[in-house]
Structure 1
Amino acid sequence: MLLLALSDAHIPERAIDLPHKFKKLIGVPNKIQQVVLLGNCTKSHSFLQFVNQISPNVVSVRGEFDNKTLASSKTSREEIPLNTILKQGDFTIGCCNGYTIVPKSDPLSLLTFARQLNVDIVLWGGTHNVEAYTLEGKFFINPGTCTGAFSADWPAAQDSEPGAAEQPRSDAAETTTQQASGEAAQSDGRTTPSAGQTEDPSGAHGPATQPENSDSAAEPNAHPNAGADDFDEGLKNVPSFCLLDIQGSTCTLYIYTYVDDEVKVDKIVYNKG
């Protein structure tokens, strides 16, 4: 089954809509079985209408800028929970927004959250940055911001100390990258990708590419407007979302990013131990 994870749309305050190419990919009827909204996605009626057209099975958790309740009909409202647990295949999935994790997005705090909920996979939002990693056998996924909305958080400081320890990660996940192109598949049939290709569950295929980050840390006082440049950079976020293809004890994660008017896809395979 396919599970779509969206987060931090911030429509209409910080963004107008999803990128058109995103809407074209995920708007295929009867393709995605469940949608999870990981916070800050409930202010726009048109956005919620589009999400419900993707799948009638929509689960939401509350972000710091969401209202506490959401209209479930013309006469009633339902409370949006801070976290929730889903069961798909052999996996138990915990969902929350990052503002409930202290320190925010800290791997060890997220691991504690996963243990408290007794889940295999954690889906969380709030940071506007896409992440995916394994830690102590659990899979952690942040789909980023689906609209590219800016973050109100102060940009994270880079650790400039030589030899600083990296954030704990596991090598259990296998990653490949591809470029998405064309249109989404119009049928539910699956094909086996040829050598040099990876399967895109939305129906888009393209040559494998790996986006590179060419930004380097500037020296202190190297430019009179360095502080302003850092602030502007903090307002820039890449639109992204995640699609989980869950088959039994295997979860194949597809990370979609919108860069330079192109949709790029990263693939990560996670097997439950």
Structure 2
Amino acid sequence: MLLLALSDAHIPERAIDLPTKFKKLLSVPKKISQVVLLGNCTKSYSFLQFINQVSSNVVIVRGEFDTGTIATTKNAKEELPINTVIKQGDFRIGCCNGYTVVPKNDPLSLLTFARQLDVDIVLWGGTHNVEAYTLEGKFFINPGSCTGAFTTDWPLQEPEKDVEKVQTGDIPKQSEETPDGGNGKPESQEGDPQPSAEDTKSNSTVTEKVPGADTTTEASKVEEAKPGLSSADPGTGEKDKDQESDGDDSDDDDFDETDLNGGCIPSFCLLDIQGSTCTLFIYTCVDGEVKVDKVVYKKE
């Protein structure tokens, strides 16, 4: 069965909508068995309507910016749980939003959460960064932000890299060894006039190293993988026909929707669960192109 994990849509406050190519990939009738919304996804009626078209089995947990309740009908409201446990195949899957984990996004705290709920897989959100790793035999998955909405958290620290920068107006230091034997005054040749201090200052340059000027994000380095979600069969590696065409895409695909939604990398996760094996497909939209990574986890 296929389980779709989405988080942190933040529509309409921080994002406009899902990327167009994401909506095309997910518009596959009767393929996705269940959808899990991991917080901050309940303030847009059109978004929830689209999710109900993807699958009628939708599980929602409360995010930091959700109201706490969601209207199921005109006269009825459902209270959103802070966390919940679902069962698929041989797995127990715990779902929560990252704001309930202290310290936030801490692996050991997430491991404690998994042990408290006695689950094999943890789905969590709130960080807007896609992650997938195993710890103590348990599988931890963060689908990131499905719209690429910006986050108010502190940015991740990147390793500092030296970048050359040229500055003018400084006089290079004199070498300690001088040709006159150490009196600090260079020897002059007969007939050659000595340049003035002002001329020396205007013609000199100094090259300095300035750390921290690299702005390359890790998500821009995501490698392409073989499997893809298509109208034929999600997760089988068949590409959508709209992605293979060169000039048939609509005008909506001609611009980078990442900039409209805040500059982060839109992403979501699709879990293909068969018995005790979970195959994870991580979808990211980088520079207008959908890329996929694959991770396989087997229950011990």
Tell me which interval the TM-score lies in, with the shorter structure as reference length: 0.7 to 0.9
1:200 to 235, 243, 249: 235
2:38 touches 2:123 (CA, 8 Å); kept in 1? Answer: yes
- Aligned twin of 1:153: 153
1:252 to 272, 276, 279: 279
Residue type of the partner of 1:103? Answer: P
1:179 touches 1:205 (CA, 8 Å); kept in 2? Answer: no
CA distance in 1, matches of 2:95, 2:109: 14
CA-to-partner distance for each residue in 1:132-175, whole Å, 9 max, x for gaps? 00000000000000000000111133477xxxxxxxxxxxxxxx
- Aligned twin of 2:202: none
CA distance in 1, matches of 2:32, 2:93: 17
Residue type of the partner of 2:230? Answer: A
1:180 touches 1:262 (CA, 8 Å); kept in 2? Answer: no
Q: How does 1:215-226 map to 2 (within 5 A)?
A: none
CA distance in 1, matches of 2:158, 2:286: 23
Residue type of the partner of 1:67? Answer: T
Measured after TM superposition, the shift of residue 201 of structure 1 is: 4.4
List alignment gaps of at least 5 residues for structure 1: 161-175, 189-198, 207-231
Q: Give aligned pairs, total.
A: 219
1:3 touches 1:35 (CA, 8 Å); kept in 2? Answer: yes
Measured after TM superposition, the shift of residue 185 of structure 1 is: 2.4
Measured after TM superposition, the shift of residue 203 of structure 1 is: 4.3
Secondary structure, counterpart of 1:17 in structure 2: coil
CA distance in 2, matches of 1:203, 1:50: 23
Q: How does 1:40-51 map to 2 (within 5 A)?
A: 40-51=40-51
CA distance in 2, matches of 1:241, 1:119: 21
- Aligned twin of 2:299: 272
Secondary structure, counterpart of 1:178 in structure 2: coil
- Aligned twin of 1:185: 231
Measured after TM superposition, the shift of residue 180 of structure 1 is: 7.0
Residue type of the partner of 1:184? Answer: S
CA distance in 1, matches of 2:224, 2:275: 23
CA distance in 2, matches of 1:24, 1:159: 37
Q: Structure 1-normalised TM-score?
A: 0.76
- Aligned twin of 1:52: 52
Residue type of the partner of 1:200? Answer: G
- List 4+ stretches of structure 1 deviating above 2 A: 156-160, 199-206
CA-to-partner distance for each residue in 1:52-109, whole Å, 9 max, x for gaps? 0000000000000001100011111010000000000000000000000001010000
Measured after TM superposition, the shift of residue 27 of structure 1 is: 1.1
Residue type of the partner of 2:298? Answer: N
**Structure (1 or 2) with the larger CA radius of gyration:** 2
CA-to-partner distance for each residue in 1:172-213, whole Å, 9 max, x for gaps? xxxx841677x8223x5xxxxxxxxxx83484379xxxxxxx
- Aligned twin of 1:242: 269
CA distance in 2, matches of 1:59, 1:46: 17
CA distance in 1, matches of 2:12, 2:286: 22
2:226 touches 2:237 (CA, 8 Å); kept in 1? Answer: no
1:177 touches 1:265 (CA, 8 Å); kept in 2? Answer: yes
Percent identity of equivalent pairs: 72
- Aligned twin of 2:213: none
CA distance in 1, matches of 2:58, 2:297: 24
Confirm or deny that 1:135 pairs with 2:135. yes
Q: 1:256 to 1:76 in 2, by over 3 A?
A: same
Q: 1:25 to 1:157 in 2, by over 3 A?
A: same
The RMSD of aligned alpha carbons is: 2.1
